Chains A and B, each alone.
Chain A
């Protein structure tokens, strides 16, 4: 028996304006007329806040935690940006980083938790994917490209698969959670952390919503 935890995370307040990225000429060409900007406060319908990492912080029994999925989590480099900006990953699961760009990138995860290995791998234009596995939980682990210093992605690494990242409208669903009492934590890189105690029954719970405030 398992249930889904769903909710919407909304932003309260007006965030500072985003900054245009200082792309080099090659990357500018890939974007055409569009000028990409930072993605610190991506909001959508109803001020829903995207790119918030949601996960069960505590309450899981070891027997509730399955082995990591064989399916990799995919991160793509497209037009000199990482897509998506934030992803979730279970410890031991593979993170597959692709390069859809006709330019050279280097993929450089920079963990700060002991046990997670820093690597720096070159990736040829539209070359084969590079793969990483992280052994320790880390929220959020930064991945960067040193050739294009504006390129960042963030990975929420946790010991279980009960996590989600909010979509463009701030909605999330943590799937197949066993019944129990938990602490659900959300983390936004600029908006910080929040947590709520939740109870998951056999039929699931309808909504756990959060409001993230722009720091004053």
Chain B
């Protein structure tokens, strides 16, 4: 949860363009970061500084988690995953710092992407430590392996799309392409806007009539293209997740956990699409743009949960229980049997 809060705060920092409000790192205006006087937490310093402090707390808790897993959990792969989480959070901190000191927005893209991957890792560790997950080893699965494999494939493809979309989103945010196209569903009145220099000049004239105190720089062909690819990808993801939900419904009974998660995933992605549209139409308000980042992270989390849950079922011993009949459905290890 704290990692999700950290992503939200990071999104807020970018939405408010506060990333450079503290020009030094690892110190803060020459102070030890943890001793920076509260009286100076003003304006955008507040957002950037609290992001750094929360990141430090998450880093500390990740180390505590890794030590705990290493001492208490027998699964070697999980121990190493916890160590990997520590390395990720350290790397993430360094990238965040370098983005500031090197003044390089590309490092911001890496920082944002790694943040999502770290969230995915922490969510996975939390899942692996759940009692239900551990108990699943003992559960005998009467599995229709064919459908499990098929569903898992759909989940993995859709989740990879979501991850790619988050990377595109990070690129948009750090390259200021979020409102490179100010209309929707069309783009400058076209399906795909022309990006020759005369058209770009024309778009910039249109944009100059929109008075925005943030005074955005003139838009470029790169920004328009990346924005349009993000829109296109959103359509692909919406279709992929709707298909994943339809497939899940087809092969699971009502109330099944997979169906609930897939339904939540579809709902999240619909909300995400609406937030994306409002980000464009409302000229990127800070709250909506930040929520768009958070829901993106939750969508990635949902997809990962589905991938891991089906993988877990497939890796359980597939022994058919007496009297168990799947009738086209399947049983997921550790979850209630279904028909």
Residue of B nearest to A148 (CB): B43
B20 x A108 contact (CB < 8 A): yes
Q: Which residues between 195 and 211 of chain B lie within 8 Å of chain A, taking CB atoms?
A: 205-206, 208-211
B115 contacts chain A at the CB level, 8 A cutoff: no
- The residues of A that contact B318 with a CB separation of less than 8 Å are none
Q: Could you tell me the distance in whole angstroms from the C-beta of B85 to the nearest C-beta in chain A? A: 31
B residues within 8 A CB of A152? 215
In the assembled complex, the Cα of A38 lies from the Cα of B323 at a distance in Å of 75
Bound state CA distance, A149 and B21, in angstroms? 9
Q: Which residues of chain A have C-beta atoms less than 8 A from B212's C-beta?
A: 19
B42 proximal to A (CB < 8 A) = yes
Check B43–A19 contact: CB distance below 8 A.
Answer: no
Task: Indicate whether A202 reaches chain B with its CB closer than 8 angstroms.
Answer: no
The reply to whether A40 and B29 form a contact with Cβ atoms under 8 Å apart is no
A24 touches B23 (CB 8 A): no
Q: Are A22 and B21 in contact (CB under 8 A)?
A: no
A106 & B23 in contact (Cβ 8 Å cutoff): yes
Cα distance A22–B19 when bound, in Å?
18
A147 lies within 8 A of chain B by Cβ: yes
Contact among B24, B44, B100 with A147 in the assembled complex (CB-CB below 8 Å) = B44
Indicate which residue in B16, B19, B208, B213 contacts A19 across the interface (CB closer than 8 Å): B213
Q: Chain A contacts of B43 at CB under 8 A?
A: 24, 26-27, 103, 147-148
Interface size bracket, B side: 20 to 34
Please encode chain B, from 282 to 325, with 1 for each CB lying within 8 Å of some chain A CB and 0 for all others: 00000000000000000000000000000000000000000000
CB contact between B23 and one of A16, A19, A103, A120 (< 8 Å): that residue: A120
Residues of B171-212 whose CB lies within 8 A of A: 205-206, 208-212
Which of B20, B45, B205, B208 interacts with A104 by CB under 8 Å?
B45
Mask: chain A, 20-37; 1 = CB below 8 Å from B; 0 = not: 111010110000000000
Residues of A within 8 A of B21 (CB): 106, 146-147
Contact A17 B211 (CB under 8 A): yes
Instruction: Say whether, besides A149-B16, A152-B215, A215 and B42 are in contact (CB < 8 Å).
Output: no
Q: Is B144 on the interface with A (CB-CB < 8 A)? A: no
Is B40 on the interface with A (CB-CB < 8 A)?
Answer: yes
Cα of A73 to Cα of B212 in the assembled complex, Å = 28
A147 and B45 in contact (CB under 8 A), knowing A120-B20, A120-B23?
yes
Contact: A103 with B42, CB < 8 Å?
yes
Tell yes or no: B38 within 8 A of A by CB. Answer: no
Please, which residues of chain A bring their CB within 8 A of the CB of B268?
A: none
**B42 touching A104, Cβ below 8 Å:** yes
Closest Cβ–Cβ distance, residue B170 to chain A (whole Å):
19
- Residues of A participating in the B interface, judged by any CB pair closer than 8 Å: 16-22, 24, 26-27, 38, 40, 103-104, 106, 108, 118-122, 142, 146-150, 152, 189-190, 192, 214-216
On B, residues with C-beta under 8 Å from A are 16-24, 29-30, 40, 42-45, 100, 103, 205-206, 208-215, 217
